[in-house]
Amino acid sequence: MLWDISGAQDAVYILNLVVRAVHVVITLCELKKEINKPSSNLNKQRILLYYQEKFYWMHDIGNPSSGESKKTATMTFRIDENVLNVLRTESDRGQITLNSLVNQLLKRYVDWDMFEPKVGMIPIAKPIVVELFKKMSKEEITNMAVNIGKDVVHDIALFMKNRMDLESFLSWFETRMASSLTETNHTLQDGYQVYVLKHELGENWSLYHKIILELMFNEIFNMKVDITISSTTIRFKYRS
């Protein structure tokens, strides 16, 4: 077959394809040899997961037609063996590939963890949060949200996202809720964007975030928002 190479970029692309094709052949041979070992002590599911990782990097080859897909890059790291064993155990337990688990952990770091010390956030155990909010009156919760909470939330979200609009704020808010072990469900219903947050932190915690959200929508985004709360849920919706 003749290749029409119009420039260095095409040559690099073709070379990349050839290298990856060779890698596929080698990896398939390794996989066949491992699985057919009669004395292998390794679980076959783990073997398959391991080789699935080796194929994962071939998923995105940089096809110019995939304009909307996320760009990926390949990089090799040296990881402590004990750490790697823990990660593999977690990926097996969660029934996801090791590649997916590591990407989740790295994304959490760049989206949230790396900012925590910079903005003065500290982790607090759930029972302590529940007890602190339980001991406060509704008036104290309201005053804290209005006088302190809204400005703090605004400034932290702006710092972490580098901009302040509805999309970036809600992206930050979902990450914030995930870091608080709060489940978030986002759907589109009859022209409304609907968020339902499920938690175990009590009604006062719901009230505090209800007030924060109302202030952000009304004062920052000039939008109406409908919010209902209970001791375990926060539900808010706005017209999209």
Out of 78-87, 205-214, 222-231, which region has the weakest mean confidence (pLDDT)? 78-87
* Range of weakest confidence among 74-78, 95-99, 152-156, 171-175: 74-78
Q: What is the pLDDT of residue 159?
A: 92
State the Cα–Cα distance between residues 110 and 65, nearest whole angstrom.
28
At residue 198, the 3 state secondary structure works out as strand
Pairing label, strands 183-189, 192-198: antiparallel
pTM for the model: 0.65
The residues facing 233 across adjacent strands are: 198
The percentage of the chain sitting over the pLDDT mark of 70, rounded to a whole number, equals 71
Q: How confident is the model at residue 4 (pLDDT cuts 50, 70, 90)?
A: very low
pLDDT, residue 119, reads: 79
Higher pLDDT, 239 or 33: 239
Q: Which pLDDT tens digit goes with each residue over 137-176?
A: 999 999 999 999 999 999 999 999 999 999 999 999 999 8
The torsion angle over the Cα atoms of residues 70, 72, 77 and 83, rounded to 10 degrees, is 30
Which structure tokens are listed for 89? 């155990």
Per DSSP, the three-state class of 231 is coil
Residue partners of 40: CB distance under 8 A and separation at least 6: 34, 47
Given CA atoms 147, 234, 101, 82 in this order, what sign does their dihedral have?
A: positive
Judge contact between 229 and 216, C-beta under 8 A.
no
One DSSP character per residue, 22-60 reads HHHHHHHHHHHHHHT-TT--S-HHHHHHHHHHHHHTTS-
Question: What residues have CB less than 8 Å from 4, skipping those under 6 apart?
Answer: 10
Q: Which residues pair with 239 in a beta bridge?
A: 192
